[in-house]
Amino acid sequence: MGKRWQGGMLRLLPGKEGTQSKDIPLELLFSKLIGIRDKLRVLEMRINSNAALTAEEKLDLQGYLTRCYGSLTTFNVLFAAKESGFAGQSGKE
């Protein structure tokens, strides 16, 4: 996690008046993102090594994984090393 974010908080502000906001430590959010990334990588390896899937099916599933990574690029700002973040379809943030 980037040094500037250590000790930081994510504040969720509700749109409904009279309801409480929620603060989440950025370290917790970051660890959850790392967990998602690791699980996506395992899923990718299992798809690639699955003999029961056709090449077309593997490509289709890889496309879904790529789009998942792309959806998570918003959080790349939290990573200290750019190469540790998420890459979408273009391979860029």
Tell me the pLDDT tens digit for each residue of 21-41: 999 999 999 999 999 999 999
d(CA 65, CA 79) in angstroms, rounded, equals 20
Which amino acid type is present at position 61? L
pLDDT of amino acid 56: 96
pLDDT at 77 over 60: yes
pLDDT of amino acid 93: 47
pLDDT of amino acid 13: 94
For 53, list phi and psi in degrees, rounded to 5: -90, 140
